[in-house]
Amino acid sequence: MPRTTKAPSERMRVKRNPIRAVYDREAVHAILDAMPMCHVGYVVDGEPYVTPTLQWREGERVYWHGSSASRALRKSVGAEVCLTVSILDGLVMARSAFHHSVNYRAVMIKGRAEKVTDAKAKARHLETMVEQLFPGRWDMLREMNAKEMKATTVLSMPITEASAKIRPGMPVDDDEDYALPIWAGVIPVKLQVLPPEDDPRNLPGVTAPDHARNYTIG
């Protein structure tokens, strides 16, 4: 599939190193789906804040959740927010300090945050979150109660104004630096999933299910 080179809006056009810009819907979706951790930027009473949280994608919308008591979430409803996801893929070591870099995949989405107000819809979205982030987990859990539902806010926005930026490959040095006897290359970085650790308060005989022992991410 040919790469989309036109930004969805002027404010989402990548200006620094535009050669790394990717606007394809599939590329944006792939990065969102590979990394559940995101950061949401917003302004509260004239002050900027950035909050880490979990995000999940349903079709052409991105969702995140938090405490209903959160001032940040309350102030975000109907307001412009910026959601970002970043994945570190490698440490790029060049022949000069100036050309050191990292390999990465990143997405930025801007839009107005919308609150999910319908109780059934909110429950459905929270189930989707659990099943996307922890596949196979939902059906074995006790049901969420009314107090927990009330204490949770779910926000979303369309993935309309989104851009990705990707840096792969080796260092790019000045031409004359390639003659220097200095090692250069990439140290790959991966997010590693380790074997599950049992909660010491598990009941006797309760062992980790297959979805915990065989968990994968990305």
Does residue 14 lie in a domain region? Answer: yes
Q: What angle do CA 6, 19, 173 make, to 5 degrees?
A: 175
Share of the chain above pLDDT 90, in %: 84
CB–CB of 54/145 below 8 Å?
no
Does residue 187 lie in a domain region? Answer: yes
Taking the whole predicted model, whether its pTM rises above 0.75 is answered as yes
Rounded CA separation 147/69 (Å): 13
Does residue 2 lie in a domain region? Answer: no
CATH number of the structural domain spanning residue 150 = 2.30.110.10
Rounded CA separation 75/212 (Å): 36
- The stretch 106-113 carries a mean pLDDT of 97
Share of the chain above pLDDT 70, in %: 97
| Residue 15 φ then ψ, to 5° | -100, -35
pLDDT score for 3: 57
Does residue 4 lie in a domain region? Answer: no
CB–CB of 61/125 below 8 Å?
no
Number of domains in the chain: 1
The pLDDT tens digits for 137-163 are 999 999 999 999 999 999 999 999 999
Does residue 5 lie in a domain region? Answer: no
Does residue 3 lie in a domain region? Answer: no
